[in-house]
């Protein structure tokens, strides 16, 4: 029987992914873990354990205690926060991955999910319709850690026969948990500010197009990849995931269909430079071809759901 451990379950993706995994595989079959407490939903609905992803003894005993068979390892420092403390980000992003890989290998874990990011690309990568295999010269510590991680998960697969699966997520947009310190966080913050006060100061320039995805699509892609037969998973580094490409101005215009008086000012900070080093739009042809990936959300649909859910959440 499948028994899943989610590491980083209190985070932006971890919250939505844990709830959906429990929905599909049963509450008691999905153990949530994080270094901090998770949302009330997650804490009350099923098992939760405090875990530092760097601690191999703790990880081993959780695997034994709960009979864990699969791990989703989501703990990481995102791009914006990583640039503020590069060595700390490198340490956590790389050594937690090695910990999960090595403990999983010794415990015979059958499948592991570990996310990469569009941040693994760099300024020399083709910006539009970025292909699966291309130049990758990331200039952020976050991107360097993701590219190194991609090489290592492929290495563990080839060398030790481990079944590790990965996606290069674009910027993720969701309403259950706030975004965790990345360059794409503006696309979540703008909804809260629009609904709360009708004003937002954006830290990227108005014409900075980036690949983005609504969380329901990201969760669906993750579970679909993890449930695909092993012979369909041909990319053993990390699959491109495309999503929706838009600029802050295009997003603001879409939100104005619901909040016509929204005022947005643009004050690019250090994250503008990070964004400029990433693709504008990503091609996920390989994911479509290998395991049938098809996203469901465009800018219009995503905006409608975000406005509705955040209004509900804030009682506005």
Catalytically active residues, by annotation: 142
Using the rule CB under 6 A, which residue among 119, 122, 138, 243 binds ligand SER? 119
Q: In this chain, which stretch among 25-33, 87-95, 125-133, 177-185 interacts with ligand SER, using CB under 6 A?
A: 177-185
Q: In this chain, which stretch among 10-18, 58-66, 151-159, 203-211 interacts with ligand NAD, using CB under 6 A?
A: 10-18
Tell me the residue nearest to ligand NAD as measured from the CB. Answer: 11
Question: Does the footprint of ligand NAD cover residue 7 (CB under 6 A)?
Answer: yes
Q: Measured from the CB of residue 296, what is the shortest distance to ligand SER in angstroms? A: 20
Per CB under 6 A, contacts with ligand NAD among 28-57 are 34-36, 51-54
Give the contact letters, 73-112, x = binds to ligand NAD (CB under 6 A), - = no: -xxx-x-------------x---x----------------
What distance in Å separates the CA atoms of residue 22 and residue 9, rounded to the nearest whole number?
12
User: Which lies closer to ligand SER via its Cβ, residue 62 or residue 204?
Assistant: 204
Which residues of the shown chain bind ligand SER in the complex (CB under 6 A)? 78-79, 117-119, 142, 171, 182-184
């Amino acid at each position: 029987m499948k028994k899943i451990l989610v590491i980083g379950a209190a985070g932006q993706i971890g919250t939505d992914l844990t709830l959906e995994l429990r929905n599909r595989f049963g509450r008691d079959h999905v153990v949530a873990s994080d270094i901090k407490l998770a949302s009330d939903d997650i804490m009350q609905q099923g098992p939760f354990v405090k875990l530092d992803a760097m601690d191999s003894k703790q990880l081993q005993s959780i695997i034994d205690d709960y009979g864990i068979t699969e791990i989703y390892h989501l703990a990481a420092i995102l791009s914006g926060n990583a640039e503020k403390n590069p060595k700390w980000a490198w340490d956590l992003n790389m050594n937690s991955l090695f910990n999960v890989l090595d403990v999983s290998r010794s415990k015979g874990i059958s499948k592991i999910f570990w996310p990469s990011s569009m941040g693994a690309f760099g300024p020399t990568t083709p910006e539009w319709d970025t292909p699966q295999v291309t130049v990758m010269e990331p200039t952020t510590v976050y991107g360097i850690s993701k590219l190194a991680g991609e090489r290592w998960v492929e290495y563990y697969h080839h060398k030790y026969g481990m079944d590790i699966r990965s996606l290069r997520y674009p910027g993720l947009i969701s309403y259950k948990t706030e975004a965790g310190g990345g360059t794409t966080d503006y696309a979540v913050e703008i909804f809260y500010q629009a609904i709360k006060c009708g004003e937002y100061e954006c830290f990227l320039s108005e014409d900075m197009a980036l690949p983005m995805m609504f969380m329901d699509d990201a969760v669906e892609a993750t579970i679909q990849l993890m449930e695909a037969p092993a012979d369909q998973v041909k990319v053993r580094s990390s699959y491109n995931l495309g999503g929706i490409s838009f600029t802050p101005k295009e997003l603001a215009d879409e939100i104005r269909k619901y909040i016509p008086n929204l005022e947005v000012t643009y004050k690019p900070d250090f994250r503008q430079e990070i964004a400029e080093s990433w693709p504008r739009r990503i091609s996920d042809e390989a994911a479509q071809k290998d395991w049938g990936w098809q996203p469901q959300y465009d800018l219009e649909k995503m905006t409608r759901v975000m406005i509705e859910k955040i209004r509900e959440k804030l009682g506005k």
